[in-house]
Amino acid sequence: MAFGFTYTDDQLALQKTVRKFVDNEIIPVRHDYDESEEFPWPEVKKMFDLGINCMNAPEKYNGMVFGNVGLCMVVEELCRGCLGIAITPLANMLASEPVLYGGTEEQWDYWYPSICEEGKLAAYAVTEPGAGSDVAGLSTSCKKDGDYYILNGTKCFITNGKHADKLCVLATHDKSQGSRAQSFFMVDTKTEGVSFGKSEHKMGMRCSETSEVILDNVKVNKKMRIGEEGDGFKLAMKAFNSSRPFIASASVGVAQGAFEYARDYAKERKAFGKNIASFQAIQFMLADMAMEIEASRLLWQKAAWLLDEKLMAADLSAMSKCFAADMCMRATTNAVQILGGYGFCRDYPVEKMMRDSKILQIFEGTSQVQRMIIGRSVLA
């Protein structure tokens, strides 16, 4: 399909539904969840009821109805309300990517029903205390034992973590062989030997769960290995390439929320006898925010469109994520600036948005890692 700049009627109808849901159900509760750090189960259940908890599932499981463009559009709308609440479906989708790309239909039938039909959660368990950006350097081991593998290791910073029903775990057959010796496994969290360590207390996204996952002699049937032995690293990179536009759209959503709040505030707040919106300094900040949000939106739209056209491009995915995440940090910082002292206070949402936006430059590959990918591509 040629690239256009309009959503389909179905996508527009969905956008309207999600926007209404965010205005009525997310925005009124986001502050309390941020303060309490309580996991937002009622909101997660509502997103499941809306059918937006795992939108990248195969069609058989009612996913991909709106394409990656529609999916990112929904992510943007959700994140306009609250990144902490929206991150749960995003984590479901990231965890499902290796299964989607490398799994058999039988494996899909194992993985998807609990998420898509029962509303349970999934988690992507790759990062370790000693290996974050350097995925090839991870240590969690998978030793073959007849028809089984025995998994041992510790994962950290795992979103959805202890609330997840299933994990997608990356482990190594032989650490000395680096990226060539890794495989993904689907692991039920009720399996003997799976436990959860500490939950992180974070700067932002405070109501989302971020857990340590401990795998102690976890016995997993070989049927749970995704792809061939050694396919893991390639699948992890494929997962990141297709999920980075999701994070780009999340960044646009957070920035859009901050922009709208700061714009409306600027029209009301008076200083020196005038609305602060009449000062060029404030107008220029708002103009920069609007311009950069639009540029970032165009980038995620192109990256998502490439995914829909089966033309996944690692450099474009990285560009969309890096540009939008860095933009979001600037936009939310400027939103705080526009609100002055009130922007610094927790009663005003832009303070939370600025804290939330920092993670967008860190997870699913830091902004430095994205630049490494882009650098490699432009020099190839």
Ligand X SMILES: Cc1cc2nc3c(=O)[nH]c(=O)nc-3n(C[C@H](O)[C@H](O)[C@H](O)COP(=O)(O)OP(=O)(O)OC[C@H]3O[C@@H](n4cnc5c(N)ncnc54)[C@H](O)[C@@H]3O)c2cc1C
The residues carrying an active-site annotation are 364
**283 belongs to the binding site for ligand X (CB under 6 A):** no
309-343: burial string, b at 16+ Cβ within 10 Å, e else: eeebebbbbbbbbbbbbbbbbebbbbbbbbbeeeb
Binding span for ligand X by CB under 6 A among 6-14, 47-55, 97-105, 356-364:
356-364
In angstroms, give the least distance from the CB of 216 to ligand X: 19
Provide the 3-class DSSP secondary structure of residue 55: coil
In angstroms, give the least distance from the CB of 169 to ligand X: 9
**126 belongs to the binding site for ligand X (CB under 6 A):** yes
In angstroms, give the least distance from the CB of 244 to ligand X: 12
Applying CB under 6 A, the site for ligand X has a residue count of 23
In angstroms, give the least distance from the CB of 123 to ligand X: 6
In angstroms, give the least distance from the CB of 155 to ligand X: 7
DSSP string, 203-219: SSSTTS-EEEEEEEEEE
Binding span for ligand X by CB under 6 A among 21-29, 156-164, 273-281, 291-299:
156-164
Interface pick for ligand X out of 8, 104, 133, 217 (rule CB under 6 A): 133
Distance of CA 369 to the CA centre of its chain: 16
Residue nearest to ligand X (CB): 132
Closer CB to ligand X, 22 or 247, in the complex: 247
Q: Could you give the C-alpha distances from 207 to 127, 322, 352, in angstroms and in order?
A: 20, 24, 12
Distance CA 19, CA 298 (A): 20
**124 belongs to the binding site for ligand X (CB under 6 A):** yes
Distance CA 342, CA 350 (A): 9
**363 belongs to the binding site for ligand X (CB under 6 A):** yes
CA angle 232, 235, 239 (to 5 degrees): 135
Closer CB to ligand X, 253 or 365, in the complex: 365
Helix (H) or strand (E) holding 221: strand 210-221
DSSP string, 94-117: HHHHHHHHH--HHHHHHHHIIIII
**366 belongs to the binding site for ligand X (CB under 6 A):** yes
Closer CB to ligand X, 95 or 289, in the complex: 95
Positions in 166-225 near ligand X (CB under 6 A):
202, 205, 210
**Which residues sit at the interface with ligand X, rule CB under 6 A?**
91, 123-127, 132-133, 157-159, 202, 205, 210, 359, 362-366, 368-369, 372
